[in-house]
Amino acid sequence: MSSLKIPRRLGVNIDHVATVRQARRSPYPDPVEAARMSEQAGADQITCHIRCDRRHVNERDIRLLRQVVQTHLNVECATTEEMLVLMEELRPHRVTLVPERPEEVTTEGGLDLRRVLPEVRDASARLKEAGIQVALFIDPIPEVVQISAMPGVDQIELNTAAYADEPDTLNQIQRLATATAIGEGVGLTVAAGHGLTHHNLPLLVANVPSIEEYNIGHSIIARAIFVGLDTAVRDLKAILA
């Protein structure tokens, strides 16, 4: 019997369309339009990150995305009371919990569950109760992957920032492969993201083929400036095929 081939999912993060909008507080470009175009180009999921300072995506965007996204809407946010109340109201398909430091340029690392376990456990339980899937953004540290397997958590997203900085080092690939195997072993779906591009993605896919989902934003939107969003999304989908 031939084995089933499960396609890897591409989550297109549309934050940086909103970053350009917010740079001028203009009504354009609209991240909701980017979501629709991404889906037409083959995106399996739309991902966005609502930050406490609303520097890119805001409530209006998520309300509209909730209505127009036809695939799957994954919202990344911190474990603050403000964000949890908002997620309970807006009910995206999935919430990915991430750490957030106000001055950071972008997310700097994964949730260190050895330090923040109680708040993550409470947040996950609340979101699950609201009927929302829960993912945790973590670094590929075996102990942290093990702790992630808690009630209410469906998925881990492994932070690929260190890999993206040094994509040719066996060490980073090995860390991601080990974390993926541990995650699968404890029954979690394994996703990955941060700093991935059409240059560094093929090596990771070839070496850790069982990662099921990739969330990619900055490089897609940056490349879209030159080749268009449709081509930028299709090229990544082809790498994941």
Catalytic residue annotation: 49, 76, 194
217 is a contact residue toward ligand PXP (CB under 6 A): yes
215 is a contact residue toward ligand PXP (CB under 6 A): yes
| Cα angle, residue 159 at apex, residues 154 and 160 outer, rounded to 5° | 130
49 is a contact residue toward ligand PXP (CB under 6 A): yes
21 is a contact residue toward ligand PXP (CB under 6 A): no
Least separation in angstroms between CB 201 and ligand PXP: 10
Q: Which residue has the tokens 């740079």?
A: 23
> Which contiguous run of DSSP H or E holds residue 74?
strand 73-77
120 alpha carbon, distance to own chain's centre: 17
Which residue, 1 or 38, has its beta carbon nearer to ligand PXP? Answer: 38
107 is a contact residue toward ligand PXP (CB under 6 A): yes
The answer to whether 152 touches 186, Cβ cutoff 8 Å, is no
Near ligand PXP by CB under 6 A: residue from 35, 65, 193, 229? 193
213 is a contact residue toward ligand PXP (CB under 6 A): no
Tokens of 15: 């934050």
Pairing mode, strands 133-138 and 94-97: parallel
Which residue, 3 or 21, has its beta carbon nearer to ligand PXP? Answer: 21
CA 190 – CA 179 distance, rounded (Å): 9
Q: Which residue has the tokens 């083959």?
A: 42
138 is a contact residue toward ligand PXP (CB under 6 A): no
Which residue, 56 or 126, has its beta carbon nearer to ligand PXP? Answer: 56
CA 148 – CA 137 distance, rounded (Å): 10
CA 150 – CA 164 distance, rounded (Å): 28
39 is a contact residue toward ligand PXP (CB under 6 A): no
163 is a contact residue toward ligand PXP (CB under 6 A): no
Tokens of 111: 């949730």
Which residue, 180 or 215, has its beta carbon nearer to ligand PXP? Answer: 215
Least separation in angstroms between CB 2 and ligand PXP: 33
Stretch binding ligand PXP (CB under 6 A), from 25-33, 148-156, 212-220, 224-232: 212-220
The answer to whether 98 touches 80, Cβ cutoff 8 Å, is no
**Residue 189, strand partner residues:** 155
H helix and E strand count, the chain: 11, 8
Near ligand PXP by CB under 6 A: residue from 8, 9, 12, 13? 13
Interacting residues toward ligand PXP by CB under 6 A: 13, 15, 49, 76, 96, 98, 106-107, 137, 157, 193-196, 215-219
